[in-house]
Amino acid sequence: MGNVLELHLDGGAWFPGETLTGILLLQLLRRTAIHEFSATLYGHEQVTVTERRGKHSTTYHESVPILTHPLIAQGSRGPLLYPGEYDAGTYTLPFEVPLPRGVPPSFSRAHLGFRSSVSYNLHATAGVPWRFDPRADLPVLVVLPPHPPRAERQRAAKPPGFAAGGTSIEAEVDMSDAPRDGLITGTVQVDTTGETRMRSVTVSLIEQASGRARGHSGASWPETISEHFFGPGDARFGAHLVFEVPVPPTASPSYEGQIVRMTHTLRFTADLAFAVNPTMAMPFRIT
């Protein structure tokens, strides 16, 4: 068993603008010379895209740094550990590191040859001559506090379609964005020029990640994270259907990065009998 390096944080999740705090433990079995030491907070956007052509596939990776910041000693705000000779024993080193305002939250999405993520990690290593260099890694979870919604109404419409039996959809949303753990409200109206029977209307909140790696783009599967369903008796042609779609607290905020995007869409779908179900989509922002 060799020398041991461990990282421990004082909290489980962190807001941008906060100062991360924790301790680094260094356990030495014997008097040891440390000629190099580093401890750093890293943040990255990462995208992996796999393209398949018959039996062959090619995978492209792209990583863009968001931040790189050394851990510093609490109180003195100096280096956490200086190179030199250290006696055997356990060294407890309290550290701190600022998390800049405006950094995106941690998230990861994957689907069939595509993966995108924003991740943060603490990494520490001690250089020991002629021996195994002890290392430590620790993921850091960054979350965003919800922001108040913007009260800007949005409207969208889909004209009657022949395949959909002359059915049209109009929707009005009471805001242009909503916070996580908030509520999206508005009205939707479905009309027809034909004799089509309507069975239901669904308002869905869709979340999807996309990105590009070395010029190759990919996307995750669109995931329905919340919806409002109007069944028989409520779903009537010409009726102004008032909907409420809750935004889950676990939803990822909408994000436009250098190589990664997290987008949200409101989708309105009418379930018709013996006709193509018309669907209308409206971009939406989660804060």
Residue ranges of domains in the chain, CATH in brackets: 4-140 (2.60.40.640), 154-286 (2.60.40.640)
pLDDT score of 246 more than 60 = yes
Rounded to an integer, the average pLDDT of 5-13 is 96
**Interval 225-242: pLDDT, tens:** 999 999 988 999 999 999
**Rounded distance between C-alpha atoms, residue 75 and residue 73, angstroms:** 6
Rounded to an integer, the average pLDDT of 13-24 is 97
Rounded to an integer, the average pLDDT of 194-207 is 93
Q: Give the model's confidence band at 1: pLDDT under 50 very low, under 70 low, under 90 confident, else very high.
A: low
CB-CB neighbours of 102 under 10 Å: 7
**Rounded distance between C-alpha atoms, residue 40 and residue 124, angstroms:** 6
**Rounded distance between C-alpha atoms, residue 9 and residue 26, angstroms:** 15
* 206 to 70, 116, 147, 203, 209: CA distances (angstroms): 38, 17, 19, 10, 10
Q: How confident is the model at residue 274, as a pLDDT? A: 85
Cα dihedral angle (140, 145, 151, 152), rounded to 10 degrees? Answer: -10
Contact 254, 147 (CB under 8 A): no
Rounded to an integer, the average pLDDT of 210-228 is 95
Q: How confident is the model at residue 148, as a pLDDT? A: 85
Rounded to an integer, the average pLDDT of 216-223 is 94
pLDDT score of 62 more than 60 = yes
Rounded to an integer, the average pLDDT of 36-52 is 95
**Interval 92-151: pLDDT, tens:** 999 999 999 999 999 999 988 999 999 999 999 999 888 788 999 999 999 998 888 877
Contact 93, 27 (CB under 8 A): no
| Among 166, 151, 152, 41, residue whose Cα is nearest residue 100 | 41
**Interval 256-280: pLDDT, tens:** 999 999 999 999 999 998 889 999 9
Beta bridge partners of 262: 209, 255
In sequence order, which ranges of 207-274 are alpha helices (DSSP H)? none
pLDDT score of 189 more than 90 = yes
* Average per-residue pLDDT for the chain: 93
| Side chain identity at residue 167, one-letter code | T
**Over pLDDT 70: what percentage of the chain?**
100
Rounded to an integer, the average pLDDT of 181-195 is 93
| Among 197, 16, 3, residue whose Cα is nearest residue 91 | 3
